[in-house]
Structure 1
């Protein structure tokens, strides 16, 4: 008994999570800072590349979706494993939860090795598929040939970050991302401007800087997880345990991979359309994407925090509380995203002038940013609600609906608006807006109809929830019959 007690004292972090206690207020701020810093890395890369040429920025921007598409698979595996682990924590099954995380590392390692090999081996062919202008394709292939190593660093780090988020320690992810950014910007400055006697290495130097920064950050995370919190992730589960884990994880991971991969293939086709329109449209798209990445930071942060909370509440059978956490998260994130998007739209010309001196690119900025503004709120709803649906194991239906909307409605709309009506880049952006709007409605419908824990049909429930959002607290209680708690 003494030995058992001693063992319990040596592994407190493996058995407890502070996610529910911290709530959105405790989890979201450090996640926002973490993702802001993390997603500033591509923006910093684009800034340094723009110092080389617009062709360099456009080339890297066009092939980055290949790396992100592979990363999506890793993220899906992490989401699935952490969702199941969170549910087990909610049920008090900490040992099974820890074994699920160990299983995650095994799968992530194998999949990363496969994807990195494929990406590195076929970089030239992947660039050729895009039919880019020669000056752009050369830069793109140089970057993508090293992109496989960026993927390995980012993918392995994502697994460790998922573990820290699950245990309620997002501030350490913020520290790791800060290290990544400092290393990346420092090395980029050296290789782009030729500081300290180093040769100017152009696109290749920027890619190498990103690889080194990713692995430095990964090493920091591995040390923190193992030695700071004593979370053992290499006590691998038995074969029988892995067999029992596979089905529930696959039920989340497979559709969680299909949906974003479908979207990335869709985005790839849209990039081909943009490339047909012209290099200036490609450049504008890359710059706008990187600026509005800040909105994505907020959406992802709220999504991850809400997903962790909902998973554990769902495991503990507190369905009504899980619903309230989600609706609160959607409301706050949309308010923040709306404010940021308007700010970017009002300052569109100034922001683009900072990145490009091309008058044609600058002239497009105001209209392009207006469409981005309209798109960001439904995109935010999509990201937050989809994360919670996956957290409760409901991934197949939303994946099917999303693929139908994207391929049957949005993609044909993009071709129609771009080629028939000759709207160019604007036609593509309007198609993306339509896609995000319809998918946000579909995902909200699924949550409210299946997981809200409320009586009545979808529209009846939505009316009640809208009243909950706009009425004062005491009136909400009188209408709903709820007490104060």
Structure 2
């Protein structure tokens, strides 16, 4: 039977441009916090930066459900199995809700010891702790946003998540304006106020996303299983989701260790890293958007048995992503002084930051390899290989090089960037070789289930 969600032809551009806008706005939300806080205090920026580094690891832990759901829903829709896709959607929402509530409680109660492990400067502790207790204590809302958004995108409704993100950004920026600058006699709340603004905008965004999901799926969601966990669907989610999140969890954990190294270099180094990486986000968001759009397409193609089309789609997406990364990276470096000047006028930050942006021109094409090829492998069901290679490279090359060049040879942030470049390029080359070998052709979860049946 023809599925109404796959009867229309999906294209990379149609899927990707709303994803691009959505990710851009998510990044703008984070940058709005950084930019507006920079008018308040550089120390506040550093405190929020370290807290967000920790929270990003937690968010990845929610990703194992969202990633697994995205792949399985796309494959099942491609195979015209809409009922199964609906069951997986509800199961992923239920599973992530209970899991994220437990982690939210842990972050609220354990914020201080977690930050102490990061060895952040004492002058940052109070504000970092306030931010983590509020945003971290309500992190379950972000888990629901991730899961609901992943489901909508897999059904092809990428514009919905984009529009909701626009609304979340508007609310967040307005909230930041009031709590940082205190217009009309409103109390200046600094980091605490920014945390509340972020949490409130996310909560409202989730409510809208959930209502859109119910509307777009038109009764296909199987809410009867919300408090039940069908064994077959749960097994599929975990088989794809856990390894998928494992690669991301390893990456974020390695980034936490590297941030620990940077923290030993002082507050100025932390602040420089935060500013430069906020600018870098605008380079690799193109690759992220193309990677997510490609994953949806390849998932549908694999479900429909179109393996040759899937192979060509990944290669074309990779070529496009590398080209865009080089062009945008060059433009960002050319205007680096101006971009960094938006955040600060500190001479040391400007000088070091500009050189790091030059190194980023080499870094980002390597990151494009990973973002595109890992998404493609994941969509095809080949989820374990990226984890194995990722763990070996992130820790054996990324973390080790960061310590050796950054700390031991005392190259500071330049040494850290050498580690980033080495890790991204090595992993990317391995992922491309894996794709070309085509071992993933026989790994589709939907087809495995069909054979069993």
Fold equivalence (TM over 0.5): yes
* 2:147 alignment partner, one of 156, 159, 177: 159
Distance across 2 between alignment mates of 1:332 and 1:398: 21
Report what 2:401 is aligned to. Answer: 413
Contact 2:369 2:428 in 1 (8 A): yes
Match status 1:351 vs 2:334: no
For 1:294, the equivalent position in structure 2 comes to: 282
Distance in structure 2 (CA, Å) of the matches to 1:341 and 1:451: 33
Shift, 1:414, TM fit:
1.5
Task: State which drifts further: 200-209 or 250-259.
Answer: 250-259
CA contact (8 A) 1:119 1:147 kept: no
The answer to whether the aligner puts 1:279 opposite 2:267 as a matched pair is: yes
Alpha-carbon separation, structure 2, partners of 1:19 and 1:303: 23
Cα displacement (A) at 1:420? 2.4
Offset at residue 410 of structure 1 (A):
2.4
Which of 413, 416, 425 is the matching residue for 2:413?
425
Superposition deviation, residue 240 in structure 1: 9.0
Deviations 1:239-297 (A, max 9, x none): 99710122222121111122111111111111111111121111110001111111232
Residue in structure 2 matching 1:192, options 180, 197, 206: 180
Return the alpha-carbon distance in structure 2 between the equivalents of residues 237 and 87 of structure 1: 20
Q: 2:432 — aligned with what?
A: 444
Query: How many residue pairs were aligned?
Result: 441
Q: What is the alpha-carbon distance in structure 1 between the residues aligned to residue 228 and residue 143 of structure 2?
A: 26
Superposition map of 1:18-417 within 5 A: 18=6, 21-227=9-215, 229-233=217-221, 235-237=223-225, 242-417=230-405
CA contact under 8 A between 1:60 and 1:143: conserved in structure 2? Answer: yes
Give the Cα–Cα distance (whole angstroms) in 1 for the partners of residues 49 and 86 of structure 2: 38
Q: Which has the larger radius of gyration?
A: 1
Which deviates more, 27-36 or 403-412? Answer: 403-412
Deviation at 1:150, TM superposition (A): 4.7
Separation in 2, partners of 1:421, 1:28: 42
Q: Secondary structure at the match of 1:290?
A: helix
Per the TM alignment, residue 236 of structure 1 is displaced from its structure 2 partner at its CA by: 3.2
Unaligned runs of 5+ in 2: 442-453
Output the aligned Cα RMSD: 1.9
SS in 2 for 1:292: helix
Change (3 A) 1:31 1:19: farther
Over 3 Å counting, the alpha-carbon distance change for 1:67 and 1:232 in structure 2 is farther
Deviation at residue 76 of structure 1 after TM alignment: 2.4
Q: CA deviation at 1:452?
A: 7.9
- Which string of whole-angstrom CA distances, capped at 9 and with x for unpartnered residues, describes residues 57-110 of structure 1? 011101102211111122221111121121112221111111111111111111
**Are the aligned partners of 2:86 and 2:222 in contact in 1 as well (CA < 8 Å)?**
no
Q: CA shift at 1:185, angstroms?
A: 0.2
Do the aligned partners of 1:225 and 1:231 also contact (CA within 8 Å) in 2?
Answer: no
Check conservation: 1:113, 1:152, Cα contact below 8 A: yes
- Judged with a 3 Å threshold, the aligned counterparts in structure 2 of structure 1 residues 80 and 235 are, in CA distance, closer, same or farther, namely same
Paired residues of 1:45 and 1:206 also in contact (CA < 8 A): yes
* Superposed CA offset, 1:132-185 (max 9, x none): 222222221111111224522221111111121112111111110000000000
Distance 1:393 1:63, change over 3 A: same
Paired with 2:229 and 2:189, the residues of 1 have a C-alpha distance of 49
Match of residue 449 from structure 2: none
Contact 1:345 1:366 survives alignment (8 Å): yes
Q: Secondary structure at the match of 2:345?
A: coil
Deviations 1:415-460 (A, max 9, x none): 111222110111011101111011101111111112587xxxxxxx
Q: From the superposition, tell whether residues 39 and 240 of structure 1 become closer, same or farther in structure 2 (CA, over 3 Å).
A: closer
What SS is found at the alignment partner of 1:52?
coil
Deviation at 1:211, TM superposition (A): 0.5
Alpha-carbon distance in 2 for matches of 1:43, 1:447: 35
Query: How does the TM-score come out when normalised to structure 2?
Result: 0.93
Deviations 1:358-377 (A, max 9, x none): 11111112211112221111
| Counterpart-to-counterpart distance in 2, 1:27 and 1:18 | 13
Q: Which runs of 5+ in 1 are unaligned?
A: 1-7, 454-485
Structure 1 moving runs of 4+ over 3 Å: 231-234, 236-241
Measured in 2, the distance between the counterparts of 1:69 and 1:105 equals 20
2:173 and 2:279 map into 1 onto residues whose CA distance is: 17
Range 202-211 or range 146-155, more displaced: 146-155
In the other structure, the counterpart of 2:446 is none
Deviation of 1:305 (Å): 0.9
Q: 1:230 to 1:20 in 2, by over 3 A?
A: closer
Structure 1 residues 79 and 300, CA gap change in structure 2 (3 angstroms): same
